[in-house]
């Protein structure tokens, strides 16, 4: 089983980071990784200096294990022109392959647009967190509909909507008409029918396997896609081929 | 062999769940599950005061071991009239307003002890961020601790448990009469390996949460976890087998 995980995190916690590395090695996987905070924390609205430290950690890891990791740079759109400079630094100096956006602000806000324009210029994907909670979302947390709005405004950008929007039916329905949006399978429970629905609505070519490890158990996340009643060909695309194509890698 | 300690039939409108015995059997058999403890979940989420509405007409295949899901309107008198052979009852205190201290509850546990039933208590059926809870999990665990201690003759299975739950109340999960069912062991990496550092493998039960979750995902987790072959066998079947045989 060839696997390229589009969504993992460097937590800057020695034991968990090592566990992640060991697991990925043992399964001969490759993975995209980003860092949202140091010492196990996740920074919603990091300062520019803090964010640079996060990206620096990823750069070091990728440099040490280029056969395993692809880096995505964590960007805070609230940093304005500095955010664009940071994207440039990460792409040019560290060979990072994409941008990770979390919950500094909702993705349909104007602050995000320069980041998206940079992604288009560099031809790199944007991994955008999106959720639908039972109660209100967290401040700055995007809904799938926000992702759709962004994709409509920028049809040239490649967006990966993380977690299928968490409420996967609503998430998939919100983005299905925007061909520049793929979804990743990370970070939600192995809910029966979720992957089949995504394949039916989006096509297997727009689904990327992700785990959200090490916070999530990788076996459950792999198991979720593996369990789906879809063809082996579709599974191969989801587990590996789609990400390989998107990242323009081997 | 695989024994699933967490399967359901019935209707849960909020989750678009509608599952018959026939459909559940198909799902489990295709996942190579040999035997399943199951119940009709409908009473928990409806106003109907029926205990097994989904089983009125359907025959229960041999691979299924029936439990009763108790909704908010049950009475012990109603349960005593059930003629079908059941092996246990399921309780959902985070989803429905059970007043756990009422006399009716103590009557239930006393009757359950006489009948040699297993009591299965659900902390979760689905991710708690997707549905409103009637009671916090922490407060339910507190109540469960007291019940477990008082009824040492009863066997309790706690379903929908996470590692964090166990770490916060390790004493509960070390009780001789408490077992852990692992359908919600979704965090973090190497979760099952971590669990066995907290709970003895003889107290761990495989559960799929079908048809809410993919059963094959659950078996995949066990089969690929870095735990011993003996522990896998215990979790997948032996522990459940022993428990169900002891409670004949």
| pLDDT score of B239 more than 80 | yes
Contact B210 A192 (CB under 8 A): yes
Residue A70 dihedral angles phi and psi, to the nearest 5°: -115, 135
Asked whether the CA dihedral A183, A187, A188, A190 is positive or negative, the reply is positive
Reported ipTM: the value is 0.95
| pLDDT score of B42 more than 70 | yes
| pLDDT score of B85 more than 90 | no
Contact A226 B221 (CB under 8 A): no
Please name the residues in contact with A175: beta carbons below 8 A apart, sequence gap of 6 or more. A144, A147, A148, A151, A161, A165, A181, A183, A202
Tokens 């009824």, located at residue: B151
Rounded mean pLDDT, A156-185:
98
Contact B212 A191 (CB under 8 A): yes
Size of interface A-B (CB pairs under 8 A): 92
In angstroms, the separation between the Cα of residue B223 and the nearest Cα of chain A is: 10
Any chain B CB within 8 A of the CB of A104? no
| pTM for the structure as a whole | 0.96
Write down the mean pLDDT value for chain B: 91
Least confident span in A99-108, A180-189, B44-53, B76-85 = B44-53
| Predicted local confidence at residue B54, as pLDDT | 63
Chain B residues with CB inside 8 Å of A133's CB?
A: 129-130
Q: Distances from the Cα of B227 to the Cαs of A27, B55, B201, B231, B232, in angstroms?
A: 16, 38, 10, 6, 7
| Predicted local confidence at residue B73, as pLDDT | 79
Contact B214 A218 (CB under 8 A): no
Rounded mean pLDDT, A135-140:
95
CA distance between the termini of chain B: 20
Closest chain B residue by Cα to residue A188: B127
Any chain A CB within 8 A of the CB of B197? no
| pLDDT score of A23 more than 80 | yes
* Torsion from C-alpha of A195, A196, A201, A202, nearest 10 degrees: 50
Contact B214 A217 (CB under 8 A): no
Chain B residues with CB inside 8 Å of A19's CB?
A: 189-190
Distance CA A133, CA B28 (A): 30
Contact B189 A214 (CB under 8 A): yes
Q: What is B157-224 written as a DSSP string?
A: EEES--HHHHHH-HHHHTSTTEEEE-TT---STTHHHHHTTTS-GGGEE----BTTB-HHHHHHHHHH
Rounded mean pLDDT, A64-85:
97
| pLDDT score of B100 more than 60 | no
Least confident span in A51-60, A78-87, B121-130 = B121-130
* B99 pLDDT tier (thresholds 50, 70, 90): low
Tokens 């400079």, located at residue: A85
Q: Distances from the Cα of A61 to the Cαs of A64, A175, A212, in angstroms?
A: 5, 33, 17
| Predicted local confidence at residue A172, as pLDDT | 98
| pLDDT score of B7 more than 70 | yes
Share of chain A above pLDDT 90, in %: 99
In angstroms, the separation between the Cα of residue A223 and the nearest Cα of chain B is: 4
Distance CA B189, CA A16 (A): 8
């Amino acid at each position: 089983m060839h696997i390229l995980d589009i969504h993992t995190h460097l937590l800057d916690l020695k034991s968990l980071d090592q566990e992640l590395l060991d697991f990925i090695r043992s399964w001969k996987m490759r993975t995209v990784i980003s860092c949202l905070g140091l010492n196990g924390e996740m920074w919603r609205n990091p300062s520019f200096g803090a964010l640079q430290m996060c990206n620096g950690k990823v750069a070091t890891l990728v440099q040490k294990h280029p056969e395993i990791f692809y880096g995505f740079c964590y960007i805070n759109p609230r940093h304005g022109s500095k955010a664009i400079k940071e994207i440039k630094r990460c792409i040019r100096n560290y060979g990072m392959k994409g941008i990770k956006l979390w919950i500094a602000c909702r993705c349909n806000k104007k602050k995000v647009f320069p980041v998206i324009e940079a992604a288009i210029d560099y031809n790199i994907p944007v991994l955008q967190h999106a959720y639908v909670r039972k109660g209100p979302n967290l401040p700055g947390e995007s809904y799938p509909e926000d992702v759709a709005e962004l994709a409509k405004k920028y049809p040239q950008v490649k967006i990966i909507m993380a977690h299928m929007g968490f409420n996967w039916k609503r998430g998939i329905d919100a983005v299905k008409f925007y061909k520049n949006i793929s979804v990743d399978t990370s970070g939600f429970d192995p809910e029966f029918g979720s992957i089949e629905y995504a394949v039916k609505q989006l096509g297997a070519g727009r689904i990327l396997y992700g785990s959200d490890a090490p916070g999530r158990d990788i076996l459950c996340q792999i198991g979720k896609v593996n369990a789906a009643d879809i063809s082996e060909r579709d599974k191969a695309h989801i587990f590996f081929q789609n990400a390989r194509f998107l990242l323009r890698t081997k | 062999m695989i024994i699933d300690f967490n399967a359901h039939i019935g209707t849960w409108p909020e989750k678009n769940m509608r599952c018959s015995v026939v459909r559940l059997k198909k799902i489990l058999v295709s996942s190579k599950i040999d035997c399943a403890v199951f119940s009709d979940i409908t009473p928990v989420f409806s106003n109907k005061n029926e205990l097994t509405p989904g089983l009125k007409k359907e025959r229960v295949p041999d691979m299924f071991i029936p439990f009763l899901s108790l909704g908010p309107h049950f009475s012990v008198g109603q349960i005593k009239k059930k003629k079908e052979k059941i092996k246990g009852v399921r309780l959902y205190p985070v989803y429905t307003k059970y007043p756990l201290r009422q006399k009716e509850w103590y009557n239930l546990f006393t009757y359950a002890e006489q009948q040699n039933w297993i009591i299965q208590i659900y902390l979760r059926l689905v991710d708690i961020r997707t549905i409103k809870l009637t009671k916090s999990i922490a407060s339910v665990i507190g109540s469960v601790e007291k019940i477990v201690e008082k009824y040492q003759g009863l066997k309790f299975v706690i379903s929908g448990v996470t590692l964090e739950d166990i770490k916060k109340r390790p004493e509960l999960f070390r009780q001789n009469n408490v077992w852990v069912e692992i359908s919600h062991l979704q965090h973090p990496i190497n979760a099952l390996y971590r669990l066995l550092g907290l709970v003895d493998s003889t107290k761990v039960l495989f559960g799929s949460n079908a048809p809410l979750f993919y059963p094959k995902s659950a078996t995949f987790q066990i089969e690929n976890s870095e735990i011993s072959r003996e522990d896998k066998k215990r979790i997948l079947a032996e522990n459940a087998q022993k428990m169900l045989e002891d409670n004949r």
